[in-house]
Chain A
Amino acid sequence: MSFDATTLETEVLIIGGGVTGAGIMRDLALRGIHSLLIDKRDLCAGASGGNHGLLHSGGRYVSTDPAAAMECRQENALLKRLAPQCIETAGGLFVAVEGDDPAFAEKFPALCRNAGIDCEELSPGEARRLEPVLSDKLFKACRVPDATIDPFHLALLNVDHARLIDGSVYRPHTEVLRFEMADGEIRAAICHDHLHNRPLTIRARQFVNAGGAWAMNIARLAGCADVSLLYAKGTILVSNDRLAHHVVNRLRPPGDGDILVPGGTVSLLGTTSTRVDDLERVGPTVEEIDRNIREGAAMIPALAGARYIRAFSRVRPLLQAVGNASDRAASRGFALLDHASQGVNNFCTITGGKLTTFRLMAEKTVDLVARRLGNDQACMTATVPLPDDEACSWTEPATALKHWHRDRDADDMILCECEMLPQSAIEQIFAGAPGAEQERTIEAVALRSRAGKGPCQGSFCGIRIGSYLYDQGHYRDATGLAHLRDFFDERFKGQRCVIWGQQAAQMELAEALHCGLLGLDTLEGDR
């Protein structure tokens, strides 16, 4: 398939490059169905890339949604077996501290058992030996098989595998503007290719809406009014250091600042939940940051004085629950809508759900799509392991370290010193990580690697990577500087609310460099 064409054809067009869309692409390919995956931005730009990276044991849902808890338990075990390269089996603790409801804490182990979730009760002393940062006001602790999963690595590998199987194609920066419809079917998606700034028509037999929080808007483009979502903004903080080995959950009904999840060399603290209407302009606020830290510090006092390098907010799509006022109680399950009731017969929407159940969501979706295509192949994603590919692995902190120890070549310069990202990683990403073939930019590298994720948040490595890309001829004019500025602007959105202490010093230096010296605040041309 040519990238220069203005009309593309495929069997299935998947709209939305989150983990669900990526999972659908792979599931289709494994059943012999060619697909095209598009995203108006890039992989994991929505909730898929803006969560804790938690692979739920199911423990979180045992009191509110036992069915979801059981789904999590099954998918957790399955993914640990089939996609271990994306997972750290950190283990999880549920801890109750003074002030929490003892009755809730007491019934937790039984609820876990009912859902089939392994739950080991620990004495407060045992729990604090496992995680010395835990509060001494701890009175109850349970261990469950929580784990962490890297959604970027996962999405990249799913797309990569689909591409490998049957040449299915992923196109970032491609946005659906409208659908061309006839006889109760979508014939084509009329898109805009933002990368090349030109229109693009995509013809397919089946259309899948995996737009996540945007699914309601996409469905409406096809005249389907049966997708009803609530938007809940979640805000998460990233600490400079990894504060705990396990996932640490507060043993109480879900609330703000009730979970700390390790993410390689850092920890992620979350989550506040706020209803929003606007999907595009969401960012953390000082108030949310302070609330998360205050609540989190009840479990882990060190959170109050920790150094944070970043915070981010993403919108989670929650399925509208009739007559229920609380967003946290709204269903965390997923919904698959076939839109038959809306008079469209080759279109479906998958939304809601969570990272842990992405594979199951893809399976259910592809069952429907395959049936509509007359394909009776069974789903294979529950049995076929996810193949590895180093080009997709640079989102994992461990990859750079492995590379350093194994392949260290003195001429292979480290460009991101916080995260030890070498030049060769960039070459590997351009050569083999889905979606980077056409877009050899700082942002494309940042999405597919740890570049800019460390304490300096890209303020130095961004410049080094920019220079390297100029050197390699990927940039030949002022575009590279505009991208550099955009990259810093984008990173800043996550830094803005956590700039105090050492980060304020870091930020002053960065700004002196970026604006005072390089003049990125006064670049010529449009913004």
Chain B
Amino acid sequence: MTAEPRHFTTQLAVIGSGIAGFAAAIFAINRKIVTAQVGNTGALAYTTGYLDLIGKLGGAAGLVTDPWQALASLRETEPKHPLCRVSADDIQQAFAEFTDFLGACGLAYSAPGASNITALTPVGTLKQTLCVPATMAAGPRAMAANTPCVIVDFRGLKGFSGAEVVANLRDRWPQLTTRRLVFPGMDRGEVYPEVMARALEVPATREQLAEALNGVAGAARVIGLPAILGMHRPDHVRAELERLTGREIFEIPTMPPSVPGIRLRELFQQVLPQRGVTLIPQQRVTALSFDGDGATLALSDSYGPIRVHAQAVILATGRFLSGGLEAHPAGIREHLLDLPVTQPAGRADWYRDRYTDPRGHPIHRAGIEVDDSFRPLTREGRRYHDRLFAAGVILAHQDWIRGRSGAGIAIATSFRAVTEAKRFLSGR
């Protein structure tokens, strides 16, 4: 049986459903561009909720406290870095627009500031990031002020140990202690953050947890929890727990897939269709072709084949984890259009000898080339097509992992790609 393809027509098609893809969709609908978005959202659940811009620079072990200054020096040292194709004003505006959108949808974020926030990790190390969810904001503040604080962990929750957080932060935060609780109604076996988060959307569970928290908080005025404060209304859950305990509450991200990542995914999937985006999640585009009139994306879902006809396309398919790039024994390839990938000479050069080498691994700097309008380039250095733009970590000349700059690259380059696509769509 060969089903007739279903056809969608749109101005802009965004391929990819990570931070870059969703940011592109948000920027597009804010600019009244008719938008369709396709792609698997798997990798989004692996994000922590922190939105990094630049948290670390070059091979230096030192952390970046002022990302704007780091950006300025990046322009000197790594002019090909994708962030260097975006002005600081645009980056600032992109972050503000992105976090405002999330806030308007019920997931409040700190606004992009003049310096990084020193955020907490589940093992008690510190991380420099630009914006944090409102549910996580009180932790860095309390640490900076050495406010008496108790980290509460839970029986049966693997990979999150209050003792570990305290052991590694004690020098910096002498007033930090830890206690262990049984999560209400989960006194046997393993407990899972996602299940706890959904349980906390129920008022009765919150009341029981608040009572238990009060029992162990003692002199602590601030309580740190693993990220479990609700799935859909985390700010409300936190406010309620603060009201019930009379103490400030904050979250620390847990091992991925973590609740903050799932929150983002669920929010996007719920909100974007309401705002008019044709969202086809969980499907992989199998072919992309261009002709004189536009671009055609081929994919299929359980009902059969789909064709999306678009005037312009943003490729935001990510790297290896999301499938935008494929690492073959013979070399790295871009999977959809076989765009040329700038990469190390051979497989032996992909990785350095030591995993945690502060300089990072050359494979992560591989990626596709774009011009200043974020249009991918062919081997000859020409635009692949006027209708094709690219954004996110698929771009070459950056190491988002070691630079702590994944969200920054995604948001900033999507902003620019959408701006350029808009210019193209409105007849230049």
Contacts and interface: CB of A to CB of B under 8 A. Distances in A.
Nearest to B161: A467
Interface stretch (A66-74, A243-251, A469-477): A469-477
A283 interface: yes
B294 to A, nearest CB: 32
Interface stretch (A36-44, A443-451, A480-488): A480-488
Interface in B326-373: 326-329, 346-348, 350-351, 353-358, 360-361, 363-364
Contacts of A501: 326-328
A471 B348 contact: no
Contacts of A509: 46, 256, 321
Interface stretch (A27-35, A259-267, A514-522): A514-522
Given A286-B348, A464-B159, A467-B158, A518 B188 contact: no
Contact of B123 (A471, A505, A518): A518
A473 B124 CA distance: 15
Contacts of B357: 521
B127 A519 contact: yes
A466 B321 contact: no
A489 B356 CA distance: 6
Contacts of B56: 522
Interface in A314-338: none
B156 A411 contact: yes
A496 B353 contact: yes
Interface in B134-181: 156, 158-161, 163-164, 167-168, 170
Interface residues of B, number: 57
B353 to A, nearest CB: 7
A480 B351 contact: no
B358 A512 contact: no
A411 B188 contact: yes
Contacts of A283: 353
B126 A519 contact: yes
A475 B170 CA distance: 13
A463 interface: yes
Contact of B159 (A463, A481, A520): A463
A477 B158 contact: no
A158 B117 CA distance: 54
Contact of B158 (A415, A478, A519): A415
Contacts of A485: 356
Given A467-B123, A467-B164, A481-B168, A517 B329 contact: no
A500 B332 CA distance: 9
B356 A471 contact: no
A500 B347 contact: yes
Contacts, number: 151
A413 B167 contact: no
Interface in A389-425: 410-411, 413-415
B298 to A, nearest CB: 23
Contacts of A414: 190
Interface stretch (B27-35, B80-88, B94-102, B399-407): B399-407
Contacts of B413: none
A508 B399 CA distance: 11
B121 A518 contact: yes
- Of residues B121, B190, B256, B354, which shows the largest number of chain A Cβ atoms within 10 Å of its Cβ? B354
A305 to B, nearest CB: 10
B200 to A, nearest CB: 22
A511 B46 CA distance: 12
B48 interface: yes
B127 A508 contact: no
B271 interface: no
Interface string A490-515: 01110011011100110111011111
A467 B166 CA distance: 12
A240 interface: no
A463 B123 contact: yes
Nearest to A472: B163
Contacts of B348: 285-287, 497
Nearest to A460: B255
Interface residues of A, number: 55
A290 B121 contact: no
Contacts of B8: none
B111 interface: no
Nearest to A512: B401
A513 B351 contact: no
B256 to A, nearest CB: 6
A467 B329 CA distance: 35
Interface in B244-278: 253, 255-256
A464 B157 CA distance: 10
A139 interface: no
B255 A504 contact: no
A481 to B, nearest CB: 6
Contacts of A516: 400-402, 404, 406
A464 B340 CA distance: 39
Contacts of B160: 467
A481 B161 contact: no
Contacts of B256: 509, 513
B125 A519 contact: yes
Contact of A517 (B48, B61, B361): B48
Contact of A470 (B167, B188, B329): B167
A520 B402 CA distance: 10
B321 A505 contact: yes
Nearest to B346: A286
Contacts of B124: 481
B189 interface: yes
B125 A481 contact: yes
B164 A471 contact: yes
A347 B329 CA distance: 50
B344 to A, nearest CB: 12
B354 to A, nearest CB: 6
Nearest to A524: B61
A482 to B, nearest CB: 10
A2 B4 CA distance: 80
A410 B164 CA distance: 23
A413 B160 CA distance: 13
B320 interface: yes
Contacts of B156: 411, 413
Interface in B89-142: 121-127
Given A468-B161, A500-B328, A517 B253 contact: yes
A508 B319 contact: yes
Interface string B41-56: 0000010100000001
B212 interface: no
A500 B63 contact: no
Given A463-B159, A513-B256, A521-B402, A500 B327 contact: yes
A286 B256 CA distance: 31
A477 B159 CA distance: 17
Nearest to A477: B167
The 3 closest A-B pairs by CB, nearest first: A410-B189, A492-B355, A470-B164
Interface of B: 46, 48, 56, 61-63, 121-127, 156, 158-161, 163-164, 167-168, 170, 188-190, 253, 255-256, 319-321, 323, 326-329, 346-348, 350-351, 353-358, 360-361, 363-364, 400-402, 404, 406
Interface of A: 283, 285-287, 290, 410-411, 413-415, 460, 463-464, 466-468, 470-471, 473, 475-478, 480-481, 484-485, 488-489, 491-493, 496-497, 499-501, 504-505, 507-509, 511-523
18 contacts: A283-B353, A290-B329, A415-B158, A475-B167, A477-B170, A478-B167, A489-B355, A489-B356, A499-B350, A499-B351, A500-B328, A504-B320, A507-B320, A512-B46, A516-B400, A516-B406, A517-B121, A522-B63
Given A414-B190, A470-B164, A481-B125, 18 more contacts: A286-B348, A411-B188, A467-B160, A471-B161, A471-B164, A475-B167, A476-B167, A477-B170, A489-B356, A491-B355, A493-B353, A508-B364, A512-B401, A514-B355, A517-B121, A518-B121, A521-B358, A522-B61
